[in-house]
Amino acid sequence: MKLLRFGNKGAEKPAVLHTDGTIRDVSSLVADYMPETISPALIRILRSADLAALPTVPEMTRTGAPVARTGHFIAIGLNYADHAAESNLPVPGEPVVFSKAPSCLSGPDDDVMLPKESRKTDWEVELAVIIGERCDYVSQEEALSRVFGYAVCNDVSEREYQAERGGQWIKGKSAPTFGPLGPWIVTPDEIADPQNLDMFLDVNGERMQTGNTSTMIFSVAEIVSYLSRFMVLEPGDVITTGTPPGVGMGRKPQVFLKEGDEMRLGIAGLGEQRQRVVAR
């Protein structure tokens, strides 16, 4: 199934992409997709529903982030060896873990706002994982059974804030709109292998990133298991798992986003995003 949220920002409702291609409003079945409702039981409720009898969402309606909110927005850095190389950093022996502020979540096609005084805002197409069940010391073998679904994420990053201003990476990763997610959460039954998904990102029509999740250093199962040793993962938590090469910071000369730029990105089976860059 493909689960999404629609409507004006701050007033979104839950929906499902029906097999006939229409989007169906499921707010009569669940209040929203949030930590209190995300669970295997929710998937069973939605699968058993007569979606054809539910209201159709009008075309051109805004798509919001597919989760209303998240307790944790966790990210994995340098998880592709060739991206580590373009960043002039060694391949990590353990996952590099940092956080994005949950408030940076935004819709897949919402504008990306440049922070005031931003000089080095960059793009990163990534596979995101949404947790469906509590994870506390979960084994690698069990980890994927705790996944609620997968989504496209653009881990927008202000590189000067991240690397040149001291402190932790979260400073460069958390501005409002720096976490476009969606267009939908795709349940695991539709993803045969999360470690074999093609991904891409274009800026102004020029291909910048091309990759496949098969080249991740640490797999989704490894990441979920690893994180659960250091923190309890809860339903609705989002983990974005790293980016392939081709980011602006790694180009020679470096290229960063500016007002008026347009990004298009996607992952096979998970949909596409489009964002316009605007000044704050």
Q: What are phi and psi of 233, to 5 degrees?
A: -90, 135
Q: Taking the model in full, what pTM does it have?
A: 0.97
Peptide bond into 253 cis (omega under 30): yes
- Could you tell me which CATH number the domain at 63-279 has? 3.90.850.10
Q: For position 86, what pLDDT does the model report? A: 81
Q: For position 215, what pLDDT does the model report? A: 94
Q: For position 83, what pLDDT does the model report? A: 83
Tell me, rounded to whole angstroms, the distance of Cα 278 from its chain centroid. Answer: 20
Q: For position 137, what pLDDT does the model report? A: 98
Nearest to 256 by CA among 116, 120, 117, 114: 120
Q: For position 89, what pLDDT does the model report? A: 78
Contact at 8 Å (CB) between 6 and 64? yes
Q: Taking the CB of residue 61, how many other CB atoms lie within 10 A of it?
A: 15
Q: What is the pLDDT of residues 126-147, one digit of tens each?
A: 999 999 999 999 999 999 999 9
Q: For position 82, what pLDDT does the model report? A: 79
Contact at 8 Å (CB) between 120 and 249? yes
Contact at 8 Å (CB) between 263 and 205? no
Across 29-42, b (16+ Cβ under 10 Å) vs e yields bbebbbbebbbeeb
Q: Which residues of the chain have pLDDT under 70?
A: none
The β-bridge relationship of strands 2-6 and 63-64 is: antiparallel
